[in-house]
Amino acid sequence: MPQAVAVLGGGIIGLSCAFEAARRGMRVTLIEPGGLGGQASGAAAGMLAPFSENTEQPDDFFQLCLNSLRLYPEWIRAVEELSGMSAEWVQSGSINVVMHEADILPIESRLRWQNEWGAAAQLIDAAQLQRLEPMLSTAAVAGVYTPGESHVYAPKLVSALESACRKLGVEMLEHAGDIEEVQAHPSGGASVRAKALDQPVHADRLVVCAGAWTGAYERWFGLTIPIHPIRGQICSFEHPANEVRHMVFSSQAYWVGKRNDRLVCGASEDVAGFETNVTERGIGRLIRSSSRLFPFLERKETMHRWAGLRPATRDGLPLIGRVEGIGPVILAAGHYRNGILLSPVTAAAVADLLEEKTSVVSLNAFAPNRFSYIEK
């Protein structure tokens, strides 16, 4: 009899874990209190940019991100082939814009260590920058061009994963309502009771991928799960596809051109509990940054404004691994703004744990119980 696995949470991480477990022959039930991909996943810009977003050192988190980027080609091909849907994976490369000469020296140090890890990045001058991105402000003095970074269209990736999961036989219980009880026994076996379900879901193993809501389950596991929501506000402008050719990063924001003729700009972040409304202050900062870096956007109206809740941990690192003392429970949460990028490696690591194999990557730095030890 194949192992029965319950996945709690239907965002990008939950869907990815369900997909990988089902691919390996497990019987999977996914439980989502609301709609699939409804928070951080659906709101994300879909950037796969471990070099642009990790600029300090090649620590454990950077290596996790880089490993996931390397898994993406095979992983997304499997998702697209099984679902018959495109996730609009665009291998655009990225440009980090430099506005001041004084910023060039520290960038050279960053390039040295990143290129040792395969970035193939190069510092380009103002003339080269204008050739690569003609729409950029001429005030930019230089840039870092990283050819291997890319992006997907997050809503389509979520839809493709959902379809792939269904075709693999995953039972999808969305709109299950509030989780009322989770029981996990050290000797094995777990069950989840949700308000809108007629009966509890029983499984051999439970994978918790509840994003910003994961902290609500700590009372059932007897450990500290310090995950809190960070509201990320994003906007988009109508703009012909491919006129902004790369993902563009500045110290204030980022811009990603999508195939639906939208230029996405993000993200303004703040702590607002579980509020998902957008604010004039948050979106206004993005509009001002856009006008400075892309003059053609000055006085241009946004086409869409939205926000998602990003699950942040106290130390900025995700929680991935077994819950010590509770054999059948695995956590995969707290990915903050990197859930799209980290989906393949997280799913592979969780599936390895379910099969009791050595994980595809070292998970020591991401142990779910690490905060319990700190507080003792």
Residue 245 in tokens:
């050719």
**Partner residues linked to 184 by β-bridges:** 190
Q: What is the pLDDT of residues 323-339, one digit of tens each?
A: 988 879 999 999 999 99
Q: For residues 179 and 217, what is the distance between their CA atoms, to the nearest angstrom? A: 9
Q: For the chain, give every domain's residue range.
A: 4-75+154-226+314-375, 90-150+228-313
Q: Around Cβ 20, how many Cβ atoms within 10 Å? A: 25
Query: Residue type for 222, please?
Result: G
Looking only at the bridges linking them, the beta strands covering 27-31 and 47-48 are unpaired
Average pLDDT of span 273-298: 95
Q: What is the pLDDT of residues 194-216, one digit of tens each?
A: 999 999 999 999 999 999 999 88
Query: For all residues of the chain together, what is the average pLDDT?
Result: 93
| Cis, peptide link before residue 267, omega less than 30° from 0 | yes
Q: For residues 214 and 353, what is the distance between their CA atoms, to the nearest angstrom? A: 19
Q: What is the pLDDT of residues 167-184, one digit of tens each?
A: 999 999 999 999 999 998
Q: For residues 136 and 51, what is the distance between their CA atoms, to the nearest angstrom? A: 21
**Contact at 8 Å (CB) between 41 and 11?**
yes
What CATH number labels 4-75+154-226+314-375? 3.50.50.60
Q: Which CATH number fits domain 90-150+228-313: 3.30.9.10, 3.40.640.10, 3.40.50.300, 3.60.15.10?
A: 3.30.9.10
What is the number of residues in the chain? Answer: 376
Q: What is the pLDDT of residue 375?
A: 43
CB-count exposure of residue 35 (10 Å: 0-12, 13-18, 19+):
exposed
Q: What is the pLDDT of residues 113-148, one digit of tens each?
A: 999 999 999 999 999 999 999 999 999 999 999 999
Query: Residue type for 169, please?
Result: G
pLDDT at 25 over 80: yes
Q: Around Cβ 16, how many Cβ atoms within 10 Å? A: 32
**Partner residues linked to 194 by β-bridges:** 179
Q: What is the pLDDT of residue 376?
A: 36
